[in-house]
Structure formats: structure tokens, C-alpha cells
């Protein structure tokens, strides 16, 4: 028992069996050790704060370097394909969702009626051209004829005037001859009367009386002939004056030659206009014949509503072509996100359906907010106005070759990130 209470000897430390010293307590530490420990702790805290600040700065710069929205979708211009002429559909060359190139014949309408229209229009044009050609030939002929008629009519007037003058001279001569014969007849009748008295008294011979009687009868006959000549001369004068009046009328008609030529030229112009009209009708008939084959306006996928056997009307929509090579993104950003957004800034488009990311850039910013393009835009002039952050459509186009596989379809939801710096 006594041995147990005795203090145990502490083995001396030796190089062969080292003993670790017990840790020092706070009281056993020196002030220098306290300062070193505190300095190390402050340095660690400063390093952590610096790392947090730098990381926060980089995070802030990254988050402020782009704007993003989930209110975005793929858009494209849909091309409705309509019939330009009415008719019976005889062939549909495409199926739904089939890719077609621009100019591909999609639908064919029965062309027989339009071929007949083309033939009829061609015949009408040929007839109109023949008429115009004949009238065009008539113009110089009419010009020459009217010029000749004018000269001939002027010559006829001169001849008629000369005839009237000659007839009037003949009438004057006949009248003078009548007066002379009447004077001779008076003298012969007086001689006959005197010889009659002398014969009754037997103062002259019967032969002399007979001669006086024959002379009186001859004189009377000469007077009758002179009167007939005068009457004929008067008729000649009337005929000459009639010919003069006719010549004057012919001359007046011939003077209308320029008007006749102008009238013929007007008919030629009308015929030429008719030719142009018929040519236009022929061209329209050919166009209508060409419209019986409905072609794709652009390259894209087809959605059709037409089948063989339909009777379609002009203007009726038959197909819709979706040009998948021309898609873009319409992103509706909040107005507070557009402060630093500019045209040309780079963008990344994250697609929900495939998880892919496409590259693009800002093409344009809409001129108004989305609600203003609606049928009934909101009216904020009320007493219960509540400010709502509006969204403005931003058009983002893809970089060339990004949609080479045509995976982007109109209406798909996407998330664009527009980088502002």
C-alpha cells in the first residue's frame, strides 16, 4: 500500500524514446504567438472577402452582360398559295409536310377551257391585224384619190363656167337672129300686103305677088326657126348652169379630201388600238392558261387542303408553304430590359425541344409594344390605371448555316440571351 502512494518516477527523456510535449495552454503562449495567430486569421478573412468580392463582381458583370426572356418563339412568314383561275383540279403533285423547291408545280387545273380561249384570242388578233393592215393601205390611196378629185373638180368648174359663157353667147346670137328674122318677116308681110292690093288693082303681075307671098311664108318660117334656136339656146344655158352647179358641188366635195384622209387615219388608229386590245386579251388568255399550273412561290414544307376532283375558284387558298430556311426569333423583352439593347448585338437561342443552342444577332426592335398590335389595344386613360411593365417584340435572326438541318419550326418556344457588350 505504501508503495502505491509513492510518487512514480518520471522516466528521463532520451534520444531513443522521445516524448511529445503536451500542448500549450493560452496562458502558456507568449504574446508573440497570439499576434501571429491573429494575423493569420485576418489574412484568411481578407482573402475570403476578396475572393467573394471578385466572384461577385464577375458574377454581376456576367449577369449584367446579357438579357434573357422565356417569352420568345420561332416565327416565319407563311406563304399561302391560292388559285388564280377557277377550274377542275386534275393533279396534286405534293403531300403534306413535303419539302419543295421554289418553282415546283404543286397543283394542276384542267387547261382545256383555257387552251380554247387562247385559240379564240389568237384568231381575233389575226383578224384585227388584217383589218388594220388593209386600212393602213387605204390611207395613201385615199390621199391620192382626194387630191386627184380636187384637181378634177376644179377643172370641171372651169369647164362649166366656160360652157355657161358659151351658151349665153349662143343665146344672145339666137336672140339677135330672131330679132332680125322678125324684122324681115314684118317687112315681107308688109310687102305681101302691098302686093296684094296692087294685084287686086292689076297694077303688078301675079308672078310678083306670088314671089312676095313665098317670101312672106319663108320669112315666117325663118322667124319660127329663129325662135326655136333661141329656145334651144336658152336650154343650153340652163344645162350649162346646171353643169356648173354640179361642178361646184363636186369641187366642194373634193375640198373635203383632207377630212376624208383624217377620217381614214382615225379608222386606222382605231384598228391599231383594236389590235392592241386583242393582243392584250391573247396575253391574258395565255396567262390564264399558265395559271392552271400552280407553283411554289418559295422553297419550304407544304401543308395542303386541296385534293384531286375539287372545283376551285380564283382566290381560293389551296396550300401553305412554310420556308424553314427563313425562320427568325420573336423575343418579347420587358421594356426595362431594352435600356442597353441595340441592333447587331450577338445572341444565343436555347431551344426547349432539342436543348440545342443557336447563334444569332438582333435584327430590329419593334416600333410599338405587343398589345398595340392587337385587335383591341388597351386604353389606359382611366382612373383605375395600374402600371404594368410592357413587352416589346425584338426580332433576332440566325447566323448563316445555324439552321441547316431545319430543326427550328415556327411556334416553338425558345429562350434567347442577348449579349449587351
Predicted confidence band at 284 (pLDDT cuts at 50, 70, 90)?
A: very high
Average pLDDT, the chain: 81
What is the per-residue pLDDT across 309-326, written as a single tens digit (0 to 9) for each?
999 999 999 999 999 999
Same domain, 170 and 193: yes
- Domain-located, residue 44: no
Region 181-200 average pLDDT:
74
Name residues whose C-beta falls within 8 Å of residue 59's C-beta, 6 or more positions apart in sequence: none
**Residue 24's pLDDT is what?**
47
d(CA 388, CA 97): 41
Q: Which domain holds residue 131?
A: 114-283
Q: Are residues 334 and 238 in the same domain?
A: no
Do both 129 and 213 map to the same domain?
yes
Q: Evaluate whether 349 touches 328 at the Cβ level (below 8 Å).
A: no
Establish if 28 belongs to a structural domain.
no
Question: Residues 120, 260: one domain?
Answer: yes
State the helix-helix crossing angle for 112-200 and 257-290, rounded to 10 degrees. 160
pLDDT interval class at 56 (50, 70, 90): confident
CATH number of the domain enclosing 127: 1.10.287.620
Whether residue 237 sits in one domain with residue 151: yes
Residue that terminates a domain, selected from 230, 258, 283:
283
The confidence score (pLDDT) of residue 10 equals: 40
When divided into structural domains, the chain yields a total of 3
pLDDT over 60 at 21, yes or no: no
Say yes or no: 311 and 349 in one domain: no
Q: Are residues 139 and 262 in the same domain?
A: yes
For residues 268 and 133, state if they share a domain: yes
Q: Which residue has the cell 301675079?
A: 206
Q: Is 39 or 261 the better-scoring residue by pLDDT?
A: 39
Q: Are residues 175 and 257 in the same domain?
A: yes
Cα of first residue to Cα of last residue in the chain, in angstroms, is: 89
Q: What is the CATH classification number for the domain harbouring 350?
A: 2.40.30.170
Q: Is the domain of 153 the same as that of 279?
A: yes
**CATH number, position 104:** 2.40.50.100
The strands making up 311-312's β-sheet, listed across from edge to edge, are 293-295, 105-109, 87-92, 311-312
Same domain, 121 and 218: yes
Is 182 among the domain residues? yes
Q: Is residue 193 part of a domain?
A: yes
Domain co-membership, 263 together with 390:
no
- Residue pair 127/319 in contact (Cβ under 8 Å)? The answer is no
Q: What is the pLDDT of residues 131-175, one digit of tens each?
A: 888 877 666 666 666 666 666 667 777 777 777 777 777 778 877
Amino acid at each position: 500500500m505504501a508503495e502505491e502512494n509513492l510518487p512514480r518516477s518520471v522516466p528521463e527523456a532520451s534520444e531513443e524514446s522521445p516524448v511529445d510535449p503536451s500542448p500549450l495552454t493560452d496562458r502558456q503562449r507568449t504574446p508573440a504567438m497570439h499576434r501571429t495567430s491573429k494575423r493569420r486569421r485576418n489574412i484568411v478573412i481578407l482573402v475570403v472577402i476578396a475572393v467573394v468580392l471578385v466572384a461577385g463582381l464577375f458574377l454581376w458583370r456576367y449577369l449584367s452582360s446579357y438579357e434573357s426572356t422565356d417569352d420568345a418563339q420561332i416565327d416565319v412568314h407563311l406563304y399561302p398559295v391560292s388559285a388564280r383561275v377557277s377550274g377542275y383540279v386534275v393533279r396534286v403533285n405534293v403531300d403534306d409536310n413535303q419539302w419543295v423547291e421554289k418553282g415546283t408545280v404543286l397543283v394542276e387545273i384542267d387547261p382545256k377551257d383555257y387552251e380554247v380561249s387562247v385559240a379564240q384570242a389568237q384568231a381575233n388578233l389575226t383578224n384585227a391585224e388584217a383589218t388594220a393592215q388593209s386600212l393602213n393601205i387605204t390611207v395613201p390611196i385615199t390621199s391620192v384619190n382626194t387630191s386627184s378629185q380636187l384637181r378634177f373638180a376644179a377643172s370641171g368648174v372651169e369647164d362649166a363656167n366656160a360652157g355657161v359663157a358659151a351658151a349665153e353667147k349662143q343665146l344672145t346670137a339666137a336672140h339677135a337672129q330672131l330679132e332680125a328674122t322678125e324684122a324681115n318677116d314684118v317687112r315681107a308681110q308688109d310687102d305681101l300686103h302691098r302686093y296684094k292690093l296692087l294685084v287686086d288693082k292689076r297694077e303688078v303681075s301675079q308672078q310678083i305677088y306670088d314671089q312676095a307671098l313665098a317670101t312672106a311664108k319663108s320669112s315666117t318660117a325663118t322667124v319660127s326657126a329663129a325662135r326655136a334656136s333661141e329656145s334651144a339656146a336658152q336650154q343650153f344655158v340652163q344645162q350649162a348652169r346646171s353643169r356648173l352647179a354640179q361642178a361646184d358641188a363636186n369641187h366642194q366635195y373634193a375640198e373635203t379630201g383632207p377630212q376624208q384622209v383624217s377620217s381614214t387615219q382615225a379608222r386606222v388608229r382605231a384598228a391599231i388600238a383594236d389590235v392592241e386590245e386583242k393582243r392584250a386579251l391573247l396575253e391574258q388568255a395565255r396567262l390564264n392558261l399558265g395559271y392552271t399550273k400552280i407553283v411554289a412561290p418559295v422553297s419550304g414544307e407544304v401543308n395542303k387542303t386541296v385534293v384531286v376532283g375539287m372545283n376551285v375558284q380564283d382566290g381560293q387558298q389551296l396550300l401553305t408553304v412554310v420556308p424553314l430556311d427563313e425562320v427568325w426569333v420573336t423575343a418579347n423583352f420587358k421594356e426595362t430590359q431594352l435600356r442597353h439593347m441595340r441592333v447587331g448585338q450577338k445572341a444565343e437561342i436555347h431551344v426547349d425541344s432539342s436543348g440545342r443552342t443557336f447563334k444569332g444577332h438582333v435584327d430590329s426592335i419593334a416600333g410599338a409594344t405587343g398589345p398595340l398590335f392587337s385587335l383591341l389595344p388597351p386604353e389606359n386613360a382611366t382612373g383605375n390605371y395600374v402600371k404594368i411593365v410592357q413587352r416589346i417584340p425584338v426580332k433576332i435572326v440566325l447566323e448563316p448555316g445555324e439552321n441547316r438541318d431545319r430543326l427550328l419550326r415556327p411556334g416553338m418556344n425558345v429562350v434567347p440571351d442577348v449579349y449587351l457588350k
